[in-house]
Structure 1
């Protein structure tokens, strides 16, 4: 069933969320990004599992979110666009210079997606920070490179999104999943 799970990954501020929102408007099923939702939840409850407080705890919450998202997406039994996947948690830990525990690699083996993964290159012209996205441009670039390395090492084929208008990106994704 993983053939219908289409991941869009890349560094922060590269247009992933806008693209996923546009695809959703066109009727494609989608799942939200773990990181942004976890940050909002942790801030709301005064939690410490935040990328600027406890990166390891934040990564564990992201892993749980991504595994649950995978299960829910499979249950839809139709194409689903995912804002990141389990391998992104590995990439995040690597960017942070933290060890990647063996259970994360096991999760990446068990929770698979379509072999072709869309990756959004760093795009300085649209990069912006906000309340949840506090990374500097250099960290955004490093995150992109880390996602390339992790997804490639796990046997995925990367499809770079064009640095183009939102309608052009939507057409690109649709043409590669239909």
Structure 2
């Protein structure tokens, strides 16, 4: 594995990220769950004000805080840690919703290893659910913002192939070796 052991899996909603990360976890790798899904779960149990479809700015700010906390907790783990989305995703959302620049949120630090793996839009498997009610067009626009943001931060990106999860796992591990 590369020197920076924090590996980011990002990209389009419903592009197979969580399935990939679950398979990596089954292989014994440490995985950090997506901040956004955890926030939605918490908010729907409470007053629901920091939901992306209610108050995207509040949601993005919470995601930034949670992702920072995730990184701090991951520092205590040994070996590689895979992140299902993370601080960059949250910073891109904050920039889009509140106009706060990526550099203002992130500074000059590279929090994750390069390359970052991106799940592309995959219409054949795209589904919505209670935690992700936005449509494919919105998800694709988010994906495009992530590509631009990652590039502006100096990250190399690798697009995950639209293949079965076993092949995706091999693709990721081969790229990191």
Segment drifting more, 53-62 vs 105-114 = 105-114
Sort the Cα spacing of 1:15 and 1:82 in 2 relative to 1 into closer, same or farther, 3 A. same
**Residue 127 of structure 2: aligned partner:** 128
1:166 aligns with 2:165: yes
**Residue 57 of structure 1: aligned partner:** 58
The whole-number CA distance in structure 2 between the counterparts of 1:108 and 1:85 is 15
The whole-number CA distance in structure 2 between the counterparts of 1:108 and 1:176 is 27
Q: Which runs of 5+ in 2 are unaligned?
A: none
Q: Which runs of 5+ in 1 are unaligned?
A: none
**Residue 175 of structure 2: aligned partner:** 176
Name the count of aligned residue pairs: 176
The structure in which a higher percent of residues are helix is 1
1:81 aligns with 2:82: yes
How far the C-alpha of 1:90 sits from its partner, in A, is: 2.8
The whole-number CA distance in structure 1 between the counterparts of 2:16 and 2:172 is 13
Structure 1 length normalisation: TM-score? 0.92
1:68-103 C-alpha deviation (Å, 9 max, x unpaired): 111111221310000112111232245xx5233258
**Residue 22 of structure 1: aligned partner:** 23
| RMSD over aligned Cα atoms | 1.8
Segment drifting more, 133-142 vs 1-10 = 1-10
Structure 2 length normalisation: TM-score? 0.92
Sort the Cα spacing of 1:167 and 1:150 in 2 relative to 1 into closer, same or farther, 3 A. same
**Residue 154 of structure 1: aligned partner:** 153
Secondary structure at 2:76's aligned position in 1? helix
